[in-house]
Amino acid sequence: MIMVRRMFWLALVSLGLVTAATVSWNDPDPMARLTELNLPALGQKLLVVMLAGALVLSLLGERFTHILQSTLVWGAVAVLAVIGYSNRTALRDTSTKLLASLSTRSTAAPAHPVETTGSIGKTRSVEIVRGRAGDFPVPAHVNGAQVPMVLDTGASAVVLTYEAARAAGLPLEFLSYSVNIDTANGRTRAASVTLDRLAVGNVIERSVPALIAQPGQLKVSLLGLSFLDRLESWQVRGDTLSMRGYP
């Protein structure tokens, strides 16, 4: 009988929660709606339900457990079906807004750097959008080879990883690592070289001084001031890096 009583009270609580959820869903001000209810009449109805439940408990005994389980299951299914149908418009609108929000997020935070180039007369320019990590991923080309870089205004020169230098066809066997540089792994030495051609979009510079880090000392190449200082102008405004080369 203890289990039966617990299930009876569970049924009443569940019914109350479903009712409250339904009122909150359909009414923007459920507390105001609650004050409009006839509380004495509602109390009388609840008392009748409780008395009827007690009578059923005394008549059916343990059989009530199985009956109540089936009733709760099918009752919950019916209540959910009614709520879903009556709020089908709100559910459809919510689904539409959710899909629109996901679409907006996917376009607002691109997985790859966004690059736009322009040419007004003979002016060359490029714009790059800030990446998800907070830096500016630069799709550069060194001597015709694609070399991913990140903007580093604190670097006095362009710094290539050993792997990027090899991809660009630089003579690694003749390098002399004699320049001290600071990296995320601490202070190390780099080799000084001159890049024949460094291009970011249609902004192209030739004979650019650069450094090559020793193997394993740098994870990504850096676009430093030895390239930026050659431009007509460059600036970071908000989430956009703008670079303009000389005609």
Residues 14 and 97 in one domain: yes
Q: How many whole angstroms separate alpha carbon 123 and alpha carbon 52?
A: 87
Residues 45 and 119 in one domain: no
What's the number of domains the chain is made of? Answer: 2
Question: Is 208:226 a contact under the CB 8 Å cutoff?
Answer: yes
Provide the 8-state DSSP code for 173. G
Q: Could you list the residue range(s) of the whole structural domain that residue 207 is in?
A: 115-245
Kindly give, in sequence order, each residue whose CB lies less than 8 Å from that of residue 97, ignoring residues fewer than 6 positions away.
none
Residues 81 and 187 in one domain: no
Residues 187 and 83 in one domain: no
Residues 168 and 225 in one domain: yes
Residues 173 and 101 in one domain: no
Question: Is 150:161 a contact under the CB 8 Å cutoff?
Answer: no
**Domain end: 106, 124, 157, which one?**
106
pLDDT recorded at residue 11: 56
Structure-token match 């694609």, residue found: 146
pLDDT recorded at residue 229: 96
- What does DSSP say about strands 186-200 and 203-213: parallel, antiparallel, or unpaired? antiparallel
**Domain end: 75, 106, 137, which one?**
106
pLDDT recorded at residue 110: 40
pLDDT recorded at residue 247: 84
pLDDT recorded at residue 109: 37
pLDDT recorded at residue 120: 47
pLDDT recorded at residue 111: 36
**Domain end: 74, 106, 138, which one?**
106
pLDDT recorded at residue 186: 75
180-192 burial, b if ≥16 CB within 10 A, otherwise e? ebebeeeebebbe
Q: Could you give the maximum distance between any two Cα atoms of the chain, in Å?
A: 99
pLDDT less than 70: residues of the chain: 1-123, 183-185
pTM: 0.53
| Torsion over CA: 131, 134, 139, 145 (sign) | negative
